[in-house]
Structure 1
Amino acid sequence: MKANEIADMLAETGYPVVYLAWREGDAPGLPYICWYLPNMEPETADNTHWADINTLNVELYTKNKQFDVEAKVEQALLDAGLVFTK
């Protein structure tokens, strides 16, 4: 999944989305989502590079615990076929 596809998938939740962080003073009201790709693991076998496995971090910021907001983000990840832990 490409960066623009990740951003589009998360934007479908209806919450503001940004890569990594908002500029100081630019953060919208809560809730909002920050996402980033902290590392990449190459998948190799038989001296051949087969694929790059990226880790996707999605951070949901809310004032307090909001199960319905979390569920909406989780559903977007599931609809995209992504496996995740929280």
Structure 2
Amino acid sequence: MTHEEVKALVEEMGLPYAYDHFAEGESPDPPFICFLYPNAENFSADNLVYHHFNRLDIEVYTDYKDPDMEASIEEVLTSHELYYEKSEVWIETEKMYEVLYELTV
């Protein structure tokens, strides 16, 4: 999946988004999405990279738990036949939830 395809996927989720983070002072009110590629998982053969995979993190930030919004995001991922792992954390200092979707693309 190319970076442009990932951007289109995130755009389909219908929330403001940025790669990695929003610039200082430009963060929209929640909910919003940040996405990034924290690492690569390459498959090798004959001491060469045979196939390249990126790990993709889609971080959804909200003021409150919103199961309907999460279901909508998961529908987008499922419609593109993408497998994901999901986790959630409360960020006390920001008073926000972060719902993290981890994928390999």
Q: Give the TM-score of the pair, scaled to structure 1.
A: 0.91
Amino acid at match of 2:77: L
Query: Contact 1:7 / 1:18 at 8 angstroms: preserved in 2?
Result: no
* 1:1-86 aligned within 5 A: 1-86=1-86
C-alpha distance in 1, partners of 2:50/2:81? 21
Q: How many residues align?
A: 86
What do the CA deviations read for 1:2-53 (whole angstroms, capped 9, x no partner)?
Answer: 1111111111121111110000110111111100000002101344432111
What is the root-mean-square deviation in Å for CA atoms of aligned residues?
A: 1.2
Separation (CA, whole Å) in 1 of partners of 2:43 and 2:37: 17
Measure the CA separation in 1 of the matches of 2:48 and 2:20: 32
Cα separation, 1, equivalents of 2:49 and 2:12: 33
How far off is 1:76 after superposition? Answer: 1.3
Aligned-partner residue type, residue 56 of structure 1: L
Q: Which runs of 5+ in 2 are unaligned?
A: 87-105
Distance 1:34 1:47 in 2: 34
Contact 1:43–1:49 (CA under 8 A) maintained in structure 2: yes
Identical aligned residues as a percent: 36
Greater percentage in strand? 2
Moved more, 41-50 or 65-74: 41-50
